[in-house]
Amino acid sequence: MPGVEVIAEGVVKTYSGGTTALRGVDLEAPRGRITTLLGPSGCGKTTLLKVIAGLERPDRGRILFDGRDVTGLPPERRNVGFVFQDLALFPHLNVFENVAFGLRVRRLPDPEVRRRVRWALELVGLDPGEYGSRRVNQLSGGQQQRVALARALVVEPSVLLLDEPFAHLDYKIKQRLLLELKRIQRETGATVVYVTHDQNEAMSVSHRIAVMRDGLVVQVGDPVEVYERPANSFVASFFGEANILPGEGGFIVVRPESVRLLGPGEDGVDYRLAGVVDDVVFQGPLVYVYVRVNGSTVRAALPRGAPTPSVGDRVVVGWSRRDARVVAE
Ligand code: ATP
């Protein structure tokens, strides 16, 4: 089923204990795209996802699917699929029945159930013949994540809600599943809202990123936009690495890859500062040089193979005006 446009309008949610998790959130998740909610622990990402799913009722505000107000509808009437962090697979059921669950609830005829479960398992890269009859506790962590994803997809949702679905997996498996998620999204056309606190995951997977802080969305844009034009120092430091230096009328944000180390007489920059090398850290394709400048530290990311100074060296760092941004806060 093709995706719908998801809009959250002025959503407020206070839990019974008194915590206000959402303080008037506005969000637009375009149809058939992957929108990521990115933010630190406790900023309200999961709560917003649950409100979109219909698992939590907002105190104020509305949720619209293609313009239709679904705020009062239960999850089963929203055509959503979701995977939360704990996966909540049924340990006593085999893979086939775990995936079939949502279809059995809808009382679909057996041949239809078999056809759709096979389709969903193949979509997530699990051979139905090989895995269908296995118990879920006989699967690896990555395979269990695939089962959870298949279970969400089997109902052909127009909105797929994923809350850190690949948490606790090792880096390579996670990268592979992220690529597969993008393929699945393209094949199904579903609108995906994806929650993570991991900026790399957000960069890998998103068409659009909504950065959240303290129950509010503080910036929305495509990954390049948010990276190149962070709205404030919080976004700059949370999404990608940033040098944030006090300046006139705000803070100056410069990404480490835009910082140059200048040799004697070298020019081509608009700003230059002298300092002393504090540390040099090898990180695969990049080498990070930490330079102490007037009580602040400036990080420069140099491509591997570039001339690298040593700890204690006196150096000059610089950058051009177009690579620096002045932000508030
Ligand atoms: P994380 O990345 O750690 O999962 P999050 O951004 O998803 O965090 P939420 O789970 O939405 O954040 O929580 C937002 C705030 O609401 C937190 O302060 C949390 O303690 C509180 N909260 C979440 N669920 C409940 C609940 N059921 N009852 C009371 N407070 C809750």
Q: Whose CA is nearest to atom 30 of ligand 1?
A: 15
Structure tokens that stand for 168 in this block? 């606790």
Mutate to test the pocket of ligand 1, among 13, 27, 45 (most ligand atoms within 8 A of CB): 45
pLDDT tens, N- to C-terminus, the chain (329 residues): 678 999 999 999 999 999 999 999 999 999 999 999 999 999 999 999 999 999 999 999 999 999 999 999 998 889 999 998 777 888 888 999 999 998 998 899 999 999 999 999 998 889 989 988 999 988 988 889 889 999 999 988 999 999 998 887 778 888 888 998 898 899 889 999 999 988 889 988 999 999 999 999 999 999 999 999 999 989 998 888 899 998 888 889 999 999 999 987 788 888 999 999 999 999 989 999 999 998 899 999 999 888 899 999 999 999 999 999 988 87
Q: Which residues contact 260 (CB under 8 A, 6 or more apart)?
A: 268, 269, 300, 317, 318, 319
Q: 236 CA distance to ligand 1 centroid (A)?
A: 23
The amino acid that residue 326 corresponds to is V
Q: How far, in Å, is the centroid of ligand 1 from the Cα of 41?
A: 8
Q: What's the confidence (pLDDT) of residue 226?
A: 93
Burial label for 329, CB within 10 Å (0-12, 13-18, 19+), is exposed
Distance, in Å, from the CA atom of 316 to the CA atom of 268, rounded to the nearest integer, reads 13
Query: Is residue 129 classed exposed, middle or buried when 0-12, 13-18 and 19+ CB atoms within 10 A define those classes?
Result: exposed
User: How far, in Å, is the centroid of ligand 1 from the Cα of 2?
Assistant: 30
Centre of ligand 1 from the C-alpha of residue 232, in Å: 24
Q: What pLDDT shows up at residue 171?
A: 82
Sheet containing strand 250-254, edge to edge, reads 243-247, 250-254, 324-327
CA nearest ligand 1 atom 27, residue: 15
Q: Which two tokens stand for residue 194?
A: 């994806």
**Domains with residue ranges and CATH for the chain:** 6-228 (3.40.50.300), 243-327 (2.40.50.100)
Q: Please give the distance, rounded to the nearest whole angstrom, from the Cα atom of residue 159 to the centre of ligand 1.
A: 22
- Looking at residue 240, its pLDDT comes to 86
- For residue 196 and ligand 1, the question of a CB distance below 6 A is answered with no
Residue nearest to atom 20 of ligand 1 (CA): 42
Residue 113: predicted pLDDT: 95
pLDDT at residue 253 in the model: 93
Token code pair at residue 149: 């994803």
Instruction: Please tell me if the CB atom of residue 137 comes closer than 6 angstroms to any atom of ligand 1.
Output: no
Q: What is the 3-state secondary structure (H, E, C) of the chain?
A: CCCCCEEEEEEEEECCCCCEEEEEEEEEECCCCEEEEECCCCCCHHHHHHHHHCCCCCCEEEEEECCEECCCCCHHHCCEEEECCCCCCCCCCEHHHHHHHHHHHCCCCHHHHHHHHHHHHHHCCCCHHHHCCCEHHHCCHHHHHHHHHHHHHCCCCCEEEEECCCCCCCHHHHHHHHHHHHHHHHHHCCEEEEEECCHHHHHHHCCEEEEEECCEEEEEECHHHHHHCCCEHHHHHHCCCCEEEEECCEEEEECHHHCEEECCCCCCCCEEEEEEEEEEEEECCEEEEEEEECCEEEEEEEECCCCCCCCCCEEEEEECHHHEEEEEC
pLDDT at position 305: 87
**12 CA from centroid of ligand 1 (Å):** 13
| Alpha-carbon span 19 to 7, nearest angstrom | 23
The pLDDT, as a whole number, for residue 306 is 87
Atom number, ligand 1, closest to the C-alpha of residue 39: 6
Whether 310 lines ligand 1, by a CB cut-off of 6 Å, is: no
What are the CA-CA distances from residue 165 to residues 29, 181, 322 (Å)?
19, 10, 38
Using an 8 Å Cβ cutoff, are 211 and 239 in contact?
yes
Nearest protein Cα to ligand 1, atom 11: 44
Model pLDDT, residue 1: 66
With the most atoms of ligand 1 within 8 angstroms of its CB, the residue from 36, 38, 47 to mutate is 47
Instruction: Specify the pTM.
Output: 0.88
Amino acid at 180: E
